[in-house]
Amino acid sequence: MAILVTGGAGYIGSHMVWALVDSGHDVVVLDRLSTGFRSAVAPQAHFYLGDLSDRDLLRKIFASHAIDAIFHFAGSVIVSESIATPMDYYANNTVNSSILIEEAVQAGIGKLVFSSTAAVYGPPADDRPVRETDPLRPQSPYGQSKLMTELMLADTARAHPDFRFVALRYFNVAGCDAKGRTGQSTRGATHLIKAACETALGLRPCLQIFGDDYPTPDGTGIRDYIHVDDLVGAHLRALAYLDDGGPSLTANCGYGAGASVREVIAAVERVAGRRLPVTIEAPRPGDAASVIADPGLAQDKLGWMAENPGLDAIVRTSLDWERRCLSARETPLGMAARRLAGGL
């Protein structure tokens, strides 16, 4: 199929592009490169530099490539940033998604897989894994903007029977391509595992723990970490599901098990072979004590099963990627970090 990947130069999007290329699809990438990298895009893909708000560009892509399906990753994803600049998030995540959906329907494109988030749930009411039927109470403009896009997709599917979607609610995505072709390269990334791996290699002076008095066994927040390769696998299953005529679906993407911040740190220390310096900071606005997925619906409806569960597998590929990035740097900081990494 000819497939458009919005945000295909970003962290998850670039992994998706490589997987689609590996599967033999004709891949088109649209990315404005605000956080992504042109070098992360598989060379076999057609690349367009631009924004989803550009209707003329979308129409050009649809006409030039006879797009069969869309993977929609483009968007802003930092909770704290969304609280500080809410209108930026509503513009980029919600308004731009509405333009994409409208233009897709006009072009007769009937299959879309959407990158949603567990942030649509808000703080869980109890300790059990979160189900898709649980109340939707997003605590940030980021979560609100993603939920609004889910609602637009559902309304569009009801109004246009030929249009169907799968919205995948991500939990905490981490890890990197096992073949080393792409990874988490976002500047100043807030992802815990990336920050911990950078700290292990001396690229950060210390790792910050945001809150250590949550009502959890060790006082730090618990999250469900999913390897990016498994998340990409869920997207491939979602495409196959839609291609087989499956009705629109919203499903969680997680492992159904959580790890605390301190457990993540211990895993990075175990794999890297060194202790990490840490500092304790105040909890961040919008952070919940514990968020764990119930992945049963994705397993049942999409036939998706995780292949890389466990923190060590995630950490190992993340650390390998950071070391690979270090080896490509020739700055004094890069050379000093490589000397440190050589002792790990």
The CATH number of the structural domain formed by 192-222+256-291+308-339 is: 3.90.25.10
Q: Are 247 and 181 in contact (CB under 8 A)?
A: no
Residue 109, burial from CB neighbour count under 10 angstroms (0-12, 13-18, 19+): buried
Tokens 């994705």 correspond to what residue?
A: 298
Write down the pTM of the prediction: 0.91
Per-residue pLDDT band at 211 (split at 50, 70, 90) = very high
Q: Are 26 and 3 in contact (CB under 8 A)?
A: yes
pLDDT of residue 341: 38
Mean pLDDT to the nearest integer, 122-130: 83
Percent of the chain with pLDDT strictly greater than 90: 84
Catalytic annotation on 142? Answer: yes
Q: How far is CA 47 from the centre of its chain?
A: 20
The CATH H-level (homologous superfamily) assignment of domain 2-176+224-253 is NAD(P)-binding Rossmann-like Domain (3.40.50.720)
Tens of pLDDT, residue by residue over 288-327, are: 889 999 999 999 999 999 887 789 989 999 999 999 988 8
Residues of the chain with CATH 3.40.50.720: 2-176+224-253
User: Which tokens go with 25?
Assistant: 């699809």
Q: Are 14 and 228 in contact (CB under 8 A)?
A: no
Q: Average pLDDT over the chain, rounded to whole?
A: 92
Q: 3-state SS string over the chain?
A: CEEEEECCCCHHHHHHHHHHHHCCCEEEEEECCCCCCHHHCCCCCEEEECCCCCHHHHHHHHHHHCCCEEEECCCCCCHHHHHHCHHHHHHHHHHHHHHHHHHHHHCCCCEEEEEEEHHHCCCCCCCCCECCCCCCCCCCHHHHHHHHHHHHHHHHHHHCCCCEEEEEEECEEECCCCCCCCCCCCCCCCCHHHHHHHHHCCCCCCEEEECCCCCCCCCCCEECEEEHHHHHHHHHHHHHHHHCCCCCEEEEECCCCCEEHHHHHHHHHHHHCCCCCEEEECCCCCCCCEECECCHHHHHHHCCCCCCCCHHHHHHHHHHHHHHHHHCCCCHHHHHHHHHHCCC
Distance CA 253, CA 134 (A): 15
pLDDT of residue 80: 84
213 CB-near residues (< 8 Å, 6+ apart)? 219
Residues of the chain with CATH 3.90.25.10: 192-222+256-291+308-339
Distance CA 218, CA 215 (A): 8
Q: Which of 142, 170, 225, 255 is catalytic?
A: 142
pLDDT surpassing 90 at residue 127: no
Task: Pick the range with the lowest mean pLDDT from 205-219, 245-259, 272-286, 325-339.
Answer: 325-339
pLDDT surpassing 70 at residue 343: no
pLDDT of residue 186: 79
Q: Are 109 and 62 in contact (CB under 8 A)?
A: yes
